[in-house]
């Protein structure tokens, strides 16, 4: 296996504290909960594996066997099953497993056979999951790449739903396309980068989703934007607005004393673990997938 990104300096602000919070959420069954002491779930467990592989802290998740948990707890989502399989495969690979044959289950073939949802954000996880499994040249990935390039908006972004581009979908798609082999210097990627530059919040340095779903800067959108910036080969700390703020500055305003990253500076939101895991991954210079077979 090879790490797909160069890790940032170990002194990156906020990353070490975020890692400590993630580790505090692991249970003796090997799985991770959304909060310390909560019930283990396959989604945060995969997110933890992906993030900890990026930061170099995977060997510190010693309360239980993370890979065994992922093997015993496959996704059960019905609304976004293919995307959930893609995330699960990323977690399996990051945790050191082979998704082609994990205890007799071929998750890669399952993902190839799964029906895409048609929702661009969700289906980008299909590309990323298959790429993590070493399948970026597969017909399924190549067909999705062609679809995404066709669906790019005139403003350079991609859209969660009809009505205009948004930061979350654009960030995910950029990471997916580049991880699967699309040239970061290509015209579609540069247009997407320009879109993100144009929608960055001047006063905070952060990013909102950019539409009515979330019009205020938040760490979910900002983390995904930072991943795209990393994927393009740039440094988010250089994306300084006229107010002197960059995206990492905003992420740190949302981090609490125990390392958890809230959704907004004054609101914890409902995605504490995801914001913290993907925030650590992004601030460490990474993008998904962090490990490729």
Alpha carbons 98 and 195: distance in angstroms, whole number: 37
Residue closest to 227 by CA, chosen among 25, 90, 24: 90
pLDDT at position 8 is 45
β-strands 291-292, 2-3 pairing: antiparallel
pLDDT band at 11 (very low <50, low <70, confident <90, very high): low
Per-residue pLDDT at 13 = 75
Q: Which domains does the chain have, with CATH numbers?
A: 2-292 (1.50.10.20)
pLDDT(67) > 50: yes
CA 219 – CA 129 distance, rounded (Å): 23
Strand, helix or coil for residue 267: strand
* For the chain, counts of helices (H) and of strands (E): 12, 2
Q: What is the pLDDT of residues 12-55, one digit of tens each?
A: 779 999 999 999 999 999 999 999 999 999 999 999 999 999 99
Q: Is the pLDDT reported for residue 267 higher than 70?
A: yes
User: Rounded to whole angstroms, how far apart are CA atoms 175 and 264?
Assistant: 23
The pLDDT tens digits of the residues spanning 211-247 come to 656 679 999 999 999 999 999 999 999 999 999 999 9
| Omega before residue 76 within 30° of 0, cis | no
pTM comes to 0.95
Q: Is the pLDDT score of 103 beyond 50?
A: yes
């Amino acid at each position: 296996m090879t790490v797909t990104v160069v890790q940032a300096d170990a002194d990156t602000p906020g990353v070490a504290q975020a890692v400590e919070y993630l580790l505090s959420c692991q249970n003796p069954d090997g799985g991770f909960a959304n909060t310390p002491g909560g019930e283990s779930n396959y989604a945060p467990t995969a997110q933890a594996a992906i993030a900890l592989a990026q930061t170099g802290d995977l060997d510190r998740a010693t309360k239980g066997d993370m890979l065994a948990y992922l093997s015993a707890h496959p996704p059960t989502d019905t609304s976004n099953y293919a995307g959930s399989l893609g995330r699960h495969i990323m977690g399996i690979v990051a945790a050191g497993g082979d998704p082609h044959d994990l205890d007799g289950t071929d998750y890669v073939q399952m993902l190839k056979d799964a029906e895409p949802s048609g929702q661009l954000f969700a289906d980008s996880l299909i590309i990323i999951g298959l790429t993590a499994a070493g399948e970026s040249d597969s017909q399924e990935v190549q067909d999705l790449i062609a679809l995404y390039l066709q669906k790019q908006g005139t403003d350079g972004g991609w859209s969660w739903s009809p009505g205009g581009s948004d930061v979350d979908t654009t960030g995910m798609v950029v990471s997916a396309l580049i991880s699967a082999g699309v040239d970061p210097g290509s015209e579609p990627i540069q247009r997407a980068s320009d879109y993100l530059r144009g929608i960055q919040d001047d006063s905070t340095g952060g990013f909102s989703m950019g539409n009515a779903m979330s019009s205020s800067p938040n760490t979910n959108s900002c983390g995904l934007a930072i991943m795209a910036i990393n994927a393009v080969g740039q440094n988010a700390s250089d994306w300084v607005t006229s107010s002197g703020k960059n995206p990492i500055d905003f992420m740190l305003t949302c981090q609490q004393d125990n390392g958890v990253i809230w959704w907004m500076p004054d609101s914890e939101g409902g995605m504490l673990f995801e914001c913290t895991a993907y925030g650590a991954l992004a601030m460490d210079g990474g993008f998904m997938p962090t490990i490729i077979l």
